Structure 1
Amino acid sequence: MTDFTEQDLSGSGFQRVDLSGSTFRQADMTDLDMREVNLSGTRVRAAYFDGVRMTGVEIPDMEISGEVVRLVVNGVDVVPYVEAELNRRMPERAQMSPTDVAGFWSAFGTMDTLWGETMRLARSLTPDQLHEQVEGEWSFIETLRHLGFAHACWVGGVVLAQKSPWHPLDLPWDEAPVHEDVPWARRARPELHEVLALRRERRATVAEVLDGITDAGLGRRVTSATPFLTDATDLTVADCLRVVLNEEFQHRLYAERDLVKLGASV
């Protein structure tokens, strides 16, 4: 296997070559021109697609999960239909885009209720199972740790402008850059009660923010004070709180799916 680490291959041409099974990590693949290629079985994770155009393609089976703003299929933007169907299936999802303080209180209250149901499933499994990954995704404990990171970033680091809102149990996304002053313990195996204690602290911080803000205050412009989210510009307090809500909502769905696969009692 050839290793192309730290090399500039921009502008290269690949014709009648076999790249099957190749791995791309932190690669700049903007403006690729791909024709007559076989992408069957491809797995793409944590990628950014903007301005991508695919024509003359055959898609017998394709699955997309992520933040999709505009997706045109054969001339039809399917996103509004997908959004409406998701909200029909999960009425609570429509609550995750509040615009006033009362709406945020209600949305976070809904999340507390939903996570309570998920915790019931989690407690029907063994401690080792809560650290078990399903199909390469985060374990249940890792998911809770990542949500701690999301709270630290968006509430602590942006809304409250704290330069170091981190806890060692916070877990950033897999591709996050390493910073010496951030005390993460990626390989830690905390017990459920430890991560739940941290979640209670982070939830209390959200409550403090909502207690001390007005509807007008939700529109206050904020800027990231952390080494992460450096591109988080022109955001409001409401934008940041909505990010946290939607992280919580989506990751709970993933977590509940995986708990059931691990044998949790439904």
Structure 2
Amino acid sequence: MRRIHDEDLTGAEFRECDLSRARMVGVVMQDAEIDGLVTNLVVNGVEVMSYVEAELDRRHPVRLLIRSDQPDDLREAWRQLRDDWATTTERVRSMPENSEHHGVDGEWSMLETLRHLVFVHDSWFRRCVLGLSEPFTAMGLGPSFVMDQEGGLDPSAQPGLDEVLAVRVRQASEVEAWLAEVTPDQLAETAPVPHDDRWPPYAKGRTVRQCLGIVLNEDWAHHRFCKRDLDKLSHQGSSPVDVRTVREVR
């Protein structure tokens, strides 16, 4: 077990780290921020995630629809997600030029976020829900190790906002057409994941509903991140400090 003892970690950033079963004893944690897949988090003897999840549901009722097993609820969830992205797209167009290319605090820019959702659609909807084995969309943006190993993805791609949005519209149409016809029984079936070793490798054995849920959750979560960062960009003005331009994917 790795032990960090009597260390000053003020300002430290833990990114893409697995902190499962970590214990923090006698720590000082002020103005800290935790964002990720967090379950069974106990703070001073109190399991707090039930409170966090309830508050997120209160702030974002679409989460309740996303977790539903009823096709009508899922259709409404998708409609709300698309409306939210349309509003955010109009917002970024009204901001200083190239705002969609700026990221904050090391996070993806809006453009990179949209490219990641292109990749999520190809991974979890086309491959896992529809069972297709077609190549990934070249502009899609996934984790660095996936970019290195998956044929078809172009790590050097630098598409513009309109180009990415056109792909997103096409993908949204695929989801809408499928949701219009899907039944509860079909949602409960085992996902028809192609029998190959391509991404995502841990999808086999999941239900269609579980794979669709990943698509919807990713769409909601990344929209939240995108809005958060656009708020920061707006506050920083047209010449932001501590803001990076389009990240090079390695």
Fold match, TM over 0.5? Answer: yes
More helix by share: 2
Residues 132-141 or 99-108, more deviating: 132-141
- Alignment-derived partner of residue 199 in structure 1: 168
What residue is the counterpart of 1:214 in the other structure?
183
Q: Which runs of 5+ in 1 are unaligned?
A: 1-30
Q: TM-score, normalised by structure 1?
A: 0.80
For 2:230, the equivalent position in structure 1 comes to: 259
Map of 1:35 onto structure 2: 5
Structure 2: which 5+ residue stretches go unaligned?
Answer: 238-250
Q: Is the 8 A contact 1:223 1:235 kept in 2?
A: no
SS at match of 1:199: helix
Contact 2:135–2:152 (8 Å) recurs in 1: no
Q: Tell me, in whole angstroms, the C-alpha distance in 2 between the residues paired with 1:86 and 1:245.
A: 15
* More displaced 10-residue stretch of structure 1: 224-233 or 83-92: 224-233
Structure 1 pair 223/54, CA: closer, same or farther in 2 (3 Å)?
farther
Change (3 A) 1:200 1:51: same
- Which deviates the most, 140-149 or 58-67? 58-67
Match of 1:16 in 2: none
Distance apart, 1:142 and its partner CA: 0.8
Q: Which residue in 2 is equivalent to 1:99? A: 69
Secondary structure in 2 matching 1:176: helix
In the TM superposition, residue 116 of structure 1 has moved relative to its aligned partner by: 1.6
Q: Does structure 1 residue 183 correspond to structure 2 residue 145? A: no
For the residues of structure 2 that align with 1:96 and 1:155, how far apart are their CA atoms? Answer: 15
State which drifts further: 54-63 or 74-83. 54-63
Kindly provide the amino acid, as one letter, of the partner of residue 198 in structure 2: P
Q: CA deviation at 1:175?
A: 4.8
The residue type equivalent to 1:136 in the other structure is G
Conserved in 2, the CA contact under 8 Å of 1:98 and 1:242? no
Q: Secondary structure at the match of 2:94?
A: coil
* Equivalent residue number for residue 28 of structure 2: 58
Q: Deviations over 1:207-232 (max 9, x none)?
A: 23323421011011126436222122
What is the CA RMSD across the aligned residues, in angstroms?
Answer: 2.2
For the residues of structure 2 that align with 1:172 and 1:103, how far apart are their CA atoms? Answer: 28
Larger Rg: 1
- Structure number with greater CO (CA < 8 Å, separation at least 6) is 2
Q: Shift of residue 82 of structure 1?
A: 0.6
Q: What residue identity is the alignment partner of 2:212?
A: L
In the TM superposition, what is the alpha-carbon distance from 1:177 to its structure 2 partner?
A: 5.4
What is the TM-score normalised by the length of structure 2?
0.85
- Percent identity of paired positions between Structure 1 and Structure 2: 34
Partner residue of 1:242 out of 188, 198, 213: 213
1:230 aligns with 2:218: no
Deviations 1:172-231 (A, max 9, x none): 13453512x522223322222111110011112212332342101101112643622212
